[in-house]
Chain A
Amino acid sequence: MPDAVVPRLRLSGIIKAYPSVVANDGIDLDVLPGEIHAVLGENGAGKSTLMKIIYGVIKPDAGTIQWNGKPVSVANPARARKLGIGMVFQHFSLFETLTVAENIALALDPGRTGSDLPARIRQVSEKYGLPLDPDRHVHSMSVGERQRVEIVRCLLQDPQLLIMDEPTSVLTPQAVEKLFETLRRLAAEGCSILYISHKLDEIRALCHRATVLRGGQVTGECDPRHESAAALARMMIGGDLPHPRHREAKVAGDGALVVAHLTLPADDPFGTSLHDVNLAVRAGEIVGIAGVSGNGQKELMAALSGECPQGDRGAVVINGTPAGRLDAAQRRALGLAFVPEERLGRGAVPEMSLAENALLTAYRQGLVAHGFVRAEAVRDYAAATIAEYKVKAGGPGAAARSLSGGNLQKYIVGREIRQRPKVLIAAQPTWGVDVGAAAQIRQALLDLRDAGVAVLVVSEELDELFEICDRLAVIAQGRLSEPLPTAGTNAAQIGMLMSGSFIAPGAHSERQFSPAGAIDAD
Chain B
Amino acid sequence: MRIRLEPRPEPSRLAGWLSPLAAAAATLVVGFLLFSALGKNPWQAFHVFFVKPVATLYGLGELLLKAGPLMLCAVGLAAGYRANVWNIGAEGQLTMGAIFGGGVALAFHDSTSPLVLPAMIVAGALGGMAWAAVPAFLRTRFNANEILVSLMLVYVATYTLSLLVHGPWRDPEGFNFPQSKLFNDVALLPNLLPETRLNRGFLLALAAIAAGWVFMSKSLVGYQMRVAGLAPAAANYAGISATRTVWFGMLAGGACAGLAGVNEIAGPLGQLQPSVSPGYGFAAIIVAFVGRLHPLGILFASLLMSLLYLGGESAQMGLALPSAVTGLFQGALLFFLLASDVFINYRLRVLRSPRSPSASGRSPLPRAGR
Measured CB to CB, the residues of A under 8 A from B are 15, 17, 19-23, 25, 44-46, 61-62, 214-217, 305-307, 327-332, 338, 340, 342, 345-352, 356, 359-361, 363, 368, 371-373, 392, 399, 402, 404-407, 434
Contact = CB atoms under 8 A, between A and B. Distances in A.
Contacts of A338: 237
Contact of A307 (B236, B356, B357): B236
Interface in B208-236: 218-221, 223, 226-227, 230-231, 233-234, 236
A23 B8 CA distance: 17
Given A19-B9, A21-B365, A407-B370, 11 more contacts: A17-B359, A19-B8, A20-B9, A44-B369, A45-B368, A62-B357, A328-B238, A346-B234, A347-B234, A347-B237, A351-B11
Contact of B234 (A61, A329, A348, A373): A348
B220 A368 contact: yes
Given A19-B8, A329-B239, A349-B230, A372 B368 contact: no
Interface in B223-270: 223, 226-227, 230-231, 233-234, 236-241
A359 B223 contact: yes
Contact of A21 (B221, B227, B238, B366): B366
Contacts of B231: 345-346, 349-350
B370 A345 contact: no
Contact of A399 (B10, B219, B220): B10
Contacts of B220: 359, 363, 368, 371-373
Nearest to B365: A22
Nearest to B369: A215
Given A61-B357, A372-B219, A329 B233 contact: no
Contacts of A217: 367
Q: How large is the interface on B (under 10, 10 to 19, 20 to 34, 35 or more residues)?
A: 20 to 34
A404 B237 contact: no
A216 B369 contact: yes
A361 B238 contact: yes
Nearest to A214: B369
B215 to A, nearest CB: 10
Contacts of B355: 61-62
Given A19-B8, A327-B241, A360-B227, A216 B368 contact: yes
A434 B369 contact: yes
Interface string B273-316: 00000000000000000000000000000000000000000000
Contacts of B8: 19
B369 A332 contact: no
Contacts of A392: 370
Interface string B341-370: 000000000000001111100000111111
A25 B233 contact: no
A360 B370 contact: no
Contacts of A305: 237
A20 B221 CA distance: 35
Contacts of B238: 328-329, 360-361
